[in-house]
Each structure stands twice: as C-alpha cells, then as structure tokens.
Amino acid sequence: MLAKILLILSAGIVLTLGIIHLAYTFWGPKLTPRDPALQTSMRQVSPVITKEITMWQAWVGFNASHSLGLILFGLVFGYLALAHPQILFQSKFLLTVGLAFLAGFVALAKVYFFSVPLAGISISLVCYVASIVAARAGH
C-alpha cells in the first residue's frame, strides 16, 4: 500500500506540473520574455531548420509538447499505480522507463529550469524511488 501511495504521489506531482505548465504556455504572461522586443523578434524570425514557422511558434510548441509529456507520464503511471499496481511493480521495463524519465527531467531541470520545477520533479523522483523500495520490501 505504501508503494502505491508513493507512486501515485510521484505521478500526481508530475501531472500537476504538466497541467500548470500547459496553462502557462497558452494563458498569461508567465512564459513570455520580459523584454517585449524579444517576443516581437521571435515572431518574425524562423529557425534554421525551416521557414515554415517562427521561433515564437517553436517556443510555444516546445512548451506545449513538454507539458503533454509530463501530463502523459502522470496519467499513465498514476493510472497503473491505482488500477494495476501488480503489473507496474512487477515490470522492470515500466519501472526503468519511469525512473529514466524522472531522472532525465531532474537533469534537465538542474541545467535549464528554475528552482520550483527542479524541487517538484526532484520530490517526484524521490517518491518514485521510495515506491520501488517499498514495493521490493513488501509494503
């Protein structure tokens, strides 16, 4: 039971971060540059890879897809922990994928994010690892 609760908590944190990030991507000024001239420039300049989009479109798209990845992780792992914990905790593949996902996000957060998402994803990772330890211990 403890393992299940810890994994649900881990997934819930990631899900919450993803939903908040998606909301910030499309509503309000949280993910806009402090310098309005930069946003104007981003709306006018294309990346080297293509002229079909602007840097602003790429920025919004990357932020939205980042959010959707977090939401997907939270929903899938939360669902598995709630509805099928035996499948989740007995699958080395699923546990490894989840661990790699969270560890990867912690690494990204250390280099590219700020303190709040780093703290949230780090807590999620600790809960995730603790859930695996608890499951192996039989709790």
In angstroms, what CA-CA distances link 58 with 17, 54, 134?
A: 21, 6, 41
**Spatial separation of the C-alpha atoms in residues 113 and 109, rounded to whole Å:** 4
Q: What are the angstrom distances between the C-alpha of 54 and each of 35, 49, 57, 67, 127?
A: 17, 11, 5, 20, 39
Per-residue pLDDT of 7-30, as tens digits, reads 999 999 999 999 999 999 999 999
Q: Minimal CA–CA distance to 83: which of 15, 6, 19, 4?
A: 4
Model confidence, pTM: 0.92
Whether residue 121 is predicted with pLDDT greater than 70 in this model: the reply is yes
Q: Give pLDDT tens digits for 68-120.
A: 999 999 999 999 999 999 999 999 999 999 999 999 999 999 999 999 999 99
Q: Using CA atoms, how far apart are residues 24 and 61, in angstroms rounded to an integer?
A: 13
